[in-house]
């Protein structure tokens, strides 16, 4: 893998570095204090597409006190983001030695001609990535490298939020990236189950409730006691991620896992109505509950619908 230096572009740095793990001191051959870092990519689940292919050609990071470090991959990394769900990730850069200190941003370089999506039941669709060929995708998110530290970060590439329909634009879909940079030492996950058959039967027999349009999704919100709302990329707030439920092999319940969640409090809810990510939808929710996530642990949510 090749790496070079380029001058950083003029931006306003976000304050505060992510807390980094410490370790014994480490110096490079020229006496500079260093640590090691690995970067991977994951995807929050979506049910709309059968493939989301993104080709990565490199990665760069910008130290707060110097020029950007650019790493060009020896071979492009072509990934189907939909295989990177439920806690899975693919490595982009592994065990790379970096100068210790604070960093302002990370940029992903792309091959836009080899990036596309495929719809469920349909063919390949074009994916337009604004400025993708020139500047790639940049996360203006600070992080820290400790002297002698060994760090692992994940870029959460949320397809459900990131891909929008331009309605007659120059491509079938646009990529408006909703990215998070995550320190893997600081995250856990939430897993839970949904009794879809019971929820669907209840709604079919109650005229005051909307029918289920599909098996549904778990909606994950940052903070406790959040009032559930739909996913609308054109409005502030809303769920951190929307996770489709999947059928279990051995019982009638459906399961979900929301991974790479920073330790803290979350609100979890469930809806089986369709949700357009570019429009306001009046959804009905079931099983709203608070769940606390601890680093490196899986939190178990209550089964939906909640017991009376």
Model pLDDT for residues 118-168, shown as the tens digit of each residue: 987 778 888 888 766 667 888 888 899 999 999 999 998 877 778 887 776
Which DSSP symbol is given to 33?
B
Q: Alpha helix locations (H) across the chain?
A: 132-135, 159-162, 196-204
User: Would you say the pTM of this structure is higher than 0.95?
Assistant: no
Instruction: Judge whether residue 15 has pLDDT over 50.
Output: no
Nearby residues of 117 by Cβ (< 8 Å), 6 or more positions away: 49, 51, 52, 53, 124, 125, 127, 163, 172, 173
Query: Would you say the C-alpha torsion 218, 219, 224, 225 has a positive or negative sign?
Result: negative
**Residue 227 φ then ψ, to 5°:** -75, 120
- b/e map 245-255, b = 16+ CB within 10 Å: beeeeeeebbb
User: 11 falls in which pLDDT band (50, 70, 90)?
Assistant: very low
Report pLDDT for 17: 32
User: 29 falls in which pLDDT band (50, 70, 90)?
Assistant: low
Task: Select, from the ranges 84-88, 181-185, 219-223, 233-237, the one with the highest average predicted confidence (pLDDT).
Answer: 219-223
End-to-end CA distance of the chain: 58
Residue 191, CA distances (Å) to 78, 125, 196, 218, 267 in order: 29, 32, 16, 10, 13
Instruction: Judge whether residue 97 has pLDDT over 80.
Output: yes
Most distant pair of Cα atoms in the chain: their distance: 74
Q: Please choose, from the candidates 243, 231, 233, the residue with its C-alpha nearest in 3D space to the C-alpha of residue 304.
A: 243
Q: How far is CA 267 from the centre of its chain?
A: 17
Q: Please choose, from the candidates 172, 130, 178, the residue with its C-alpha nearest in 3D space to the C-alpha of residue 158.
A: 178
């Amino acid at each position: 893998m090749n790496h070079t230096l380029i001058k950083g572009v003029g931006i306003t740095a976000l304050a505060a570095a992510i807390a980094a793990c410490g370790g014994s001191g480490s110096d490079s051959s020229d006496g500079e204090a260093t640590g090691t870092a690995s970067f991977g990519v994951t995807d929050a689940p979506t049910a709309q597409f059968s493939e989301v292919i993104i080709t990565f050609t490199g990665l760069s990071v910008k130290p707060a006190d110097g020029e950007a470090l650019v790493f060009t991959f020896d071979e492009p990394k072509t990934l189907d983001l939909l295989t990177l769900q439920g806690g899975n990730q693919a490595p982009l850069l592994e065990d790379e030695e970096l100068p210790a200190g604070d960093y302002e941003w990370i940029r992903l370089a792309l091959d836009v001609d080899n990036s596309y999506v495929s719809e469920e039941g349909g063919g390949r669709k074009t994916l337009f990535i604004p400025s993708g060929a020139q500047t790639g995708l940049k996360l203006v998110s600070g992080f820290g490298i400790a002297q002698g530290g060994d760090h692992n970060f994940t870029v959460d590439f949320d397809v459900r939020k990131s891909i929008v329909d331009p309605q007659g634009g120059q491509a079938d879909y646009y990529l408006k990236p909703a990215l998070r940079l995550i320190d893997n030492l600081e995250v856990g996950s939430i897993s839970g189950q949904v009794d879809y058959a019971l929820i669907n039967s209840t709604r079919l027999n109650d005229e005051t409730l909307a029918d289920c349009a599909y098996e549904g999704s778990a909606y994950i919100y940052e903070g406790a006691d959040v009032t559930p709302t739909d996913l609308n990329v054109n409005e502030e707030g809303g769920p951190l991620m929307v996770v489709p439920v999947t059928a279990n092999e051995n019982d009638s319940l459906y399961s979900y896992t929301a991974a790479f969640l920073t330790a803290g409090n979350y609100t979890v809810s469930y809806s089986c109505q369709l949700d357009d990510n570019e429009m306001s939808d009046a959804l009905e929710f079931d099983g709203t509950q608070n769940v606390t996530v601890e680093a490196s642990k899986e939190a178990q949510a209550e089964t939906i619908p909640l017991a009376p």
